[in-house]
Chain A
Amino acid sequence: MIVSLIVSLVTAKEVMELAHLSRLSLSPAEATRMCGQFAHILGYIEMLRAVDVRTTEEYLSQRQPDSSLREDQVGPMYTSQCALSAVPQRRDGMVEVPKFKED
């Protein structure tokens, strides 16, 4: 197993950024723990950097020749009652969420 010495270090601050990007709220203790595990896992993943992939294409599953396209037909749909029954918070036939700023 070839492990390069240039191990990417991910700081606690970066972990918190990743947590925000993925909408996870980590406690500082969790972030620190994740940091350590990240170093460990990324250290292991470093072995990929030793591989020469300059002439290699990204993987693509082999597939049947015909495009997997669907004809433009309407199939079974939900009634709004059925669809909304799963929604944790609803109002006026719509899904309720805390107010947010549109952007």
Chain B
Amino acid sequence: METSQIVALTARELAVRVRDGSITARRAADAYLSRVDAVQRAFGPFAHATPDRCRAQADAIDQARARGETLGPLAGVPVGLKNIFVTQGVPTTCGSKILSGWTPQYEGAQAACLRQAGAVLVGKLAMDEFAMGSSNENTPFEPVRNPWARDHVPGGSSGGSAVVVSARAAALSLGSDTGGSIRQPASLCGLVGLKPTYGRVSRFGMIAFASSLDQAGPFARDTRDAALALSVLAGHDPRDATSLNAPVPDYLGACETPIKGLRVGYDPDGLNHEGLDPEVRRAFEVSLRVLRERGAEIVEVALPHAHLGVATYYVLCAAEAASNLARYDGVRYGRRQPQPSLDGMYAATREAGFGEEVKRRILLGTYVLRASSYEEYYGRAMKVRTLIASDYRAAFECCDLLVTPTSPFPSFRIGEKVSDPLAMYLSDIYTVGANLAGLPAISIPGGFSQAATDRPRLPIGFQLLGPRLAEPRLFAAAAAHEADTSWHLERPPGIKA
């Protein structure tokens, strides 16, 4: 089979062929690896490619098959991992200079899950530093580019994870989503991106940004690949005290459930946002129609506190980040900036090791947690968070799913928003709610902006949110939407496979 044919297969098709022996894992790995250099040159999604490990893992799968062993659901599927996931023996920097030189001596839950399912690791992927960003520009390294338009951002913070799947350098990838960091880049790169229910996927081995919001999830080319990936990742992990001990349903099977009669809610107020791009709004209405024609009942709901989401989110994520990043002090691992005094060493190490956005959030987080401002900021934000979560609970009395645009705008030019942190934060208006309330949400391809003189044709995402653990319902609706659209089948210009 030609390389282009192999990389054109979905992850589940590829796994089927590896299991039945029609393609060896090694051949599949080589097919993907042959694209790594060109994709890296063009878009820069890799922080650290792992071709040797990839081939060795693929060979091990072929040997296991030869011995007659049963292969896993992702047998021979080349995957990429955001560099936030700890991989034993493979450098893991979380996109920061402060972790340069750190090679983990333990394996995280996510890497282990994928490996046990038969997936092979293509590489560790670029990201905004410590997952703080929406464009992949918050990086001491080269910015990552969008395969749909090289001078545009891929979104963030899991930009590299979106790009490798979009540019066919991996069949699947894993990202992390704290305020939209999977769904927004999936939307900007024309992919399916899933943020599962908080606690559905273990956080053990995922470097913490904001612990109460962080959740790992897959990037995939279509809904069923995302469902397959989640079935491998989901489950209770005793090493994470916030991990949910709930049965893992048949996610692939859920994709076949008809949605006739499903009540799909949307908040009309949410569409009155001044920053909402008219093309995104138009695409959203098209997606609503697609669902309605499949038999879904579209209902209007109110989320009275939704407009407070971004402000709440930024207070909380800054506070948790300031705390989580206190461990990067140059004492035990990573980079140390030698200085004669201890405090001098701390400050010099953190000054040289952290980028501007990270420092900004650490300062903001320190500010909101100080005894003098705790009640007014952190405490208050935690209360507003309760109100936001109860809005969703109330909304799900009236509907089964909620839909929104994923990002208020399609991709933007590299450098366009870097000077205005607040404008960048507003990328997250539709995505932070799911993190604040711990709900599952998926972004699926929902059309394209029209090419214009000042903007190329760019992907637009459509977001579905459900109650806790309602991933099967999300997959059913996403698959139904996918059945009547072809946006997910489009490839970025120049990507032949």
Interface residues in chain A, defined as those with a beta carbon under 8 Å from any beta carbon in chain B: 1, 10, 15, 18-19, 21-26, 30, 34, 37-38, 40-41, 44-45, 47-49, 51, 53, 56-59, 61-64, 66, 68, 70, 78, 82-83, 85-89, 95, 97-100
With contacts A62-B438, A68-B241 taken as known, whether A53 is within 8 angstroms of B384 at the C-beta atoms is: yes
Determine whether the beta carbon of B242 is less than 8 Å from that of A57.
Answer: no
With contacts A45-B314, A48-B308, A48-B381 taken as known, whether A64 is within 8 angstroms of B376 at the C-beta atoms is: no
Determine whether the beta carbon of A22 is less than 8 Å from that of B362.
Answer: yes
The complex places the Cα of A10 from the Cα of B377 at a distance, in Å, of: 14
The complex places the Cα of A78 from the Cα of B389 at a distance, in Å, of: 41
Contact sample, A vs B, 16 pairs, CB 8 Å cutoff: A23-B329, A24-B363, A30-B359, A37-B360, A40-B421, A41-B422, A44-B311, A56-B383, A58-B383, A59-B382, A63-B244, A83-B105, A86-B103, A86-B333, A95-B332, A98-B341
Determine whether the beta carbon of A53 is less than 8 Å from that of B362.
Answer: no
Return the chain A residue nearest B393 by Cβ.
A62
Point out the residues of chain A lying under 8 angstroms from B492, CB to CB. none
B1 at interface, CB cutoff 8 A: no
The complex places the Cα of A61 from the Cα of B350 at a distance, in Å, of: 32
Determine whether the beta carbon of A23 is less than 8 Å from that of B350.
Answer: yes
Determine whether the beta carbon of A41 is less than 8 Å from that of B364.
Answer: yes
The complex places the Cα of A24 from the Cα of B381 at a distance, in Å, of: 25
Determine whether the beta carbon of A98 is less than 8 Å from that of B339.
Answer: yes
- Size of the B side of the interface (Cβ < 8 Å), in residues, is 71
B487 at interface, CB cutoff 8 A: no
Task: Indicate the member of A26, A63, A87, A88 with the most B CB atoms within 10 Å.
Answer: A88
Determine whether the beta carbon of B351 is less than 8 Å from that of A25.
Answer: yes
Q: Taking the nearest CB of chain B, how far is it from the CB of A66, in angstroms?
A: 7
Q: Which 8 A-B pairs have the closest CB atoms?
A: A59-B385, A25-B347, A58-B382, A53-B383, A88-B336, A68-B241, A100-B342, A23-B346
The complex places the Cα of A19 from the Cα of B198 at a distance, in Å, of: 32
With contacts A97-B342, A98-B340 taken as known, whether A51 is within 8 angstroms of B105 at the C-beta atoms is: no
Q: Taking the nearest CB of chain A, how far is it from the CB of B126, in angstroms?
A: 23
Q: Taking the nearest CB of chain A, how far is it from the CB of B328, in angstroms?
A: 10
Q: 17 other contacts beyond A44-B422, A58-B379, with CB at 8 A cut-off? A: A15-B363, A22-B326, A22-B363, A23-B347, A38-B364, A47-B311, A49-B380, A53-B384, A57-B383, A58-B383, A59-B386, A64-B245, A68-B242, A68-B243, A78-B105, A86-B333, A95-B331
With contacts A21-B366, A45-B377, A98-B341 taken as known, whether A88 is within 8 angstroms of B360 at the C-beta atoms is: no
Q: Taking the nearest CB of chain B, how far is it from the CB of A90, in angstroms?
A: 10
Q: A59 contacts which of B314, B333, B383 (Cβ < 8 Å)?
A: B383
Q: Taking the nearest CB of chain A, how far is it from the CB of B465, in angstroms?
A: 16
The complex places the Cα of A56 from the Cα of B379 at a distance, in Å, of: 10
Return the chain A residue nearest B376 by Cβ.
A49
Interface of A, secondary structure class, is loop
Q: Taking the nearest CB of chain A, how far is it from the CB of B242, in angstroms?
A: 7
The complex places the Cα of A45 from the Cα of B354 at a distance, in Å, of: 24
Q: Taking the nearest CB of chain A, how far is it from the CB of B392, in angstroms?
A: 12
Determine whether the beta carbon of B363 is less than 8 Å from that of A38.
Answer: yes
B413 at interface, CB cutoff 8 A: no
From 412 to 462 in chain B, residues with beta carbon under 8 angstroms from any chain A beta carbon are: 421-422, 425, 436, 438
Determine whether the beta carbon of B350 is less than 8 Å from that of A89.
Answer: no
Return the chain A residue nearest B420 by Cβ.
A40
Determine whether the beta carbon of B384 is less than 8 Å from that of A88.
Answer: no
Point out the residues of chain A lying under 8 angstroms from B332, CB to CB. 86-87, 95
Q: Taking the nearest CB of chain B, how far is it from the CB of A97, in angstroms?
A: 6
B238 at interface, CB cutoff 8 A: yes
Q: A88 contacts which of B305, B335, B382, B386 (Cβ < 8 Å)?
A: B335
Q: Taking the nearest CB of chain A, how far is it from the CB of B430, in angstroms?
A: 15
Q: Taking the nearest CB of chain B, how far is it from the CB of A17, in angstroms?
A: 9
Determine whether the beta carbon of B105 is less than 8 Å from that of A61.
Answer: no
From 215 to 250 in chain B, residues with beta carbon under 8 angstroms from any chain A beta carbon are: 238, 241-246
Chain B 338-382, CB-CB to A under 8 Å as 1, else 0, gives 111111111110110010000110111011001000001101111
With contacts A24-B350, A24-B354 taken as known, whether A51 is within 8 angstroms of B387 at the C-beta atoms is: yes
The complex places the Cα of A9 from the Cα of B330 at a distance, in Å, of: 32
B307 at interface, CB cutoff 8 A: yes
Chain B 159-203, CB-CB to A under 8 Å as 1, else 0, gives 000000000000000000000000000000000000000110000
Determine whether the beta carbon of B438 is less than 8 Å from that of A18.
Answer: no
Point out the residues of chain B lying under 8 angstroms from A63, CB to CB. 199, 242, 244
Determine whether the beta carbon of A47 is less than 8 Å from that of B308.
Answer: yes
The complex places the Cα of A64 from the Cα of B347 at a distance, in Å, of: 41
Q: Taking the nearest CB of chain A, how far is it from the CB of B303, in angstroms?
A: 14
The complex places the Cα of A44 from the Cα of B313 at a distance, in Å, of: 12
Determine whether the beta carbon of B314 is less than 8 Å from that of A64.
Answer: no
The complex places the Cα of A88 from the Cα of B101 at a distance, in Å, of: 9
The complex places the Cα of A41 from the Cα of B386 at a distance, in Å, of: 22
Point out the residues of chain B lying under 8 angstroms from A38, CB to CB. 363-364, 367
